[in-house]
Amino acid sequence: MARYYTNLPMATFRKLEKIALEASISLQNRGDIACRWNDDEDFPEIAITSIQGMLEAAYRLGKEDGEKLGWMEA
């Protein structure tokens, strides 16, 4: 059974998972980012450009959430 280890609200985690799946073909083929306790499945090869795209999208998501909550200037 897949396990998710996170302190994030599940809605936020799902948004981040969506970002990862959209940025990486290997993660799309895997179907999720849950831990499966299998090295072949838990350590996929991911292109640096995919990681960069994930980080940028996650940053934008955090910035948008912060703006909604009034933590940051718009």
Decide if 31 is inside a domain.
Answer: yes
Q: Is residue 3 part of a domain?
A: no
Quick check: is 74 in a domain? no
Domain annotation covers residue 20: yes
Mutual orientation of helices 48-68 and 10-23 as an angle, nearest 10°? 150
In a domain, 58, yes or no: yes
pLDDT, tens only, 28-68: 999 999 888 999 889 999 999 999 999 999 999 999 888 88
| pTM passes above 0.85 | no
Answer whether residue 53 is part of any domain.
yes
3-state secondary structure of 3: strand
Q: What is the pLDDT of residues 6-27, one digit of tens each?
A: 788 888 889 999 999 999 999 9
Residue 42 lies in a domain: yes
| Total domain count, the chain | 1
Residue 27's domain comprises 10-68
